[in-house]
Structure 1
């Protein structure tokens, strides 16, 4: 039986790794992106060459209010939703603009929540399915100079915990992954020296890799985690426990 998964933010480092890992598991994929069409084109070529599944690109701006609606007409069969879309604004809280704050909450919280609501009937009809949010270590403990990002990621975790209780009787599991510092473009704003300082604070002594986050996703959507819902899987090298 064919399995379909929607991955938001599939053009990013973690989203791309999730796509590759799920495709390897036999999933057919809806690959959402905003601006980086080149990344999606190369990802689709890679997946088609290696796995031969069905891979559908979907463009939508989730930083815009109700941007999730542009995704809905492209989704048919569905077994899993993996919310990977994300961006951050690093700086003092008082310097954050209203527009930046709005986009952060649209991207991380409001659009993913409303997208989940709109697609939920497809999972309810099957009495099965998985929803996974890629949250953040900062959603668990908070980060200076990323106050609103931390708030949005914390909201994701609260939503996961609440929705999981509501959907458990219907056979749908809802979980989150909270990565620490991961080698993706989101860290490009830091110098090599700053990244080395971050790595030195992590008990495992290094940054995470996107594939390590993707492996967590595969576990959470598989039968190996069939009795796990409402949980936050912290993949952070021991940085926050």
Structure 2
């Protein structure tokens, strides 16, 4: 029996596919899909695919945060690897790291230029190609709990800086981008959804800031932070035909963080 989120026979692209969350998704996709194209920065995707012995995954060096170069890069990828059935878009430019009081307007804009604008360019370009193909598709964006609620400054102890406003604002914008695109491309069978993760701190943060991790855990209903493997199932569901009547949706995976 096929798994309920089967992606058998499908070609899936993943951006940021060698990162902390992206890597576990890529590895699972490699076990199911006919072909996976893993986009990440030069050298990173190649090393990841080689290290884990992924046999169905093709590494492609691409800075998806370069909006100006993205259309030509996407055309080249389609020409070489074919148009995907689905896309998991995790790649995201780093936020400023500034405190609100000291954040220059140019740095605020830089986050949007490096995160939101490329996401718009990528989504529209691939959706238009999927529309022309005539068989639909699924594109999954990645927002954040901080695109839904504001960070609690009380848990960011010195010398930590509270999660910056440009990060949350750009992640909130991704939610609206997905909704708008879902409505526009719905008649063509192209679905847009978001996975909206809660606290999934990477191992470096967990080892460096144990008190902060404990504070994060206490703010979830499950009293713990997320394991990166727990992002896989929700992502595969939205990519799969099991979610064929799901579009314009934000699937929140936050351990109950936003339920209080």
TM range (shorter): 0.7 to 0.9
Deviations 1:43-70 (A, max 9, x none): 21255x35x21413122251x4424246
TM-score normalised over the length of structure 2: 0.81
Given candidates 100, 103, 107, the residue that maps to 1:96 is: 103
Paired residue for 2:73?
71
Rg: which structure is higher? 2
Gaps of 5+ in 2: 1-7, 154-161
Given candidates 51, 55, 59, the residue that maps to 1:56 is: 59
> Is residue 126 from structure 1 mapped to residue 134 from structure 2 by the alignment?
yes
Paired residue for 2:115?
108
Paired residue for 1:41?
46
RMSD: 2.4
Paired residue for 1:9?
16
Deviations 1:193-239 (A, max 9, x none): 11111112211111112221121110111121111110000000001
Offset at 1:107? 3.3
Offset at 1:102? 3.2
Paired residue for 2:159?
none
Q: Is the alpha carbon distance of 1:67 and 1:11 closer, same or farther for their aligned partners in structure 2, counting shifts above 3 Å?
A: farther
> Is residue 140 from structure 1 mapped to residue 148 from structure 2 by the alignment?
yes
Q: Is the alpha carbon distance of 1:110 and 1:128 closer, same or farther for their aligned partners in structure 2, counting shifts above 3 Å?
A: same
CA–CA distance in 2 between the matches of 1:186 and 1:29? 28
CA–CA distance in 2 between the matches of 1:199 and 1:85? 25
Residue 142 of structure 1 contacts residue 151 of structure 1 at CA under 8 Å; is this kept in 2?
A: no
CA–CA distance in 1 between the matches of 2:184 and 2:26? 28
Given candidates 33, 38, 56, the residue that maps to 1:26 is: 33
Aligned residues: 236
Residue 60 of structure 1 contacts residue 71 of structure 1 at CA under 8 Å; is this kept in 2?
A: no
Farther off after superposition, 127-136 or 17-26: 17-26
Given candidates 223, 227, 236, the residue that maps to 1:209 is: 227
CA–CA distance in 1 between the matches of 2:149 and 2:207? 21
CA–CA distance in 2 between the matches of 1:27 and 1:209? 27
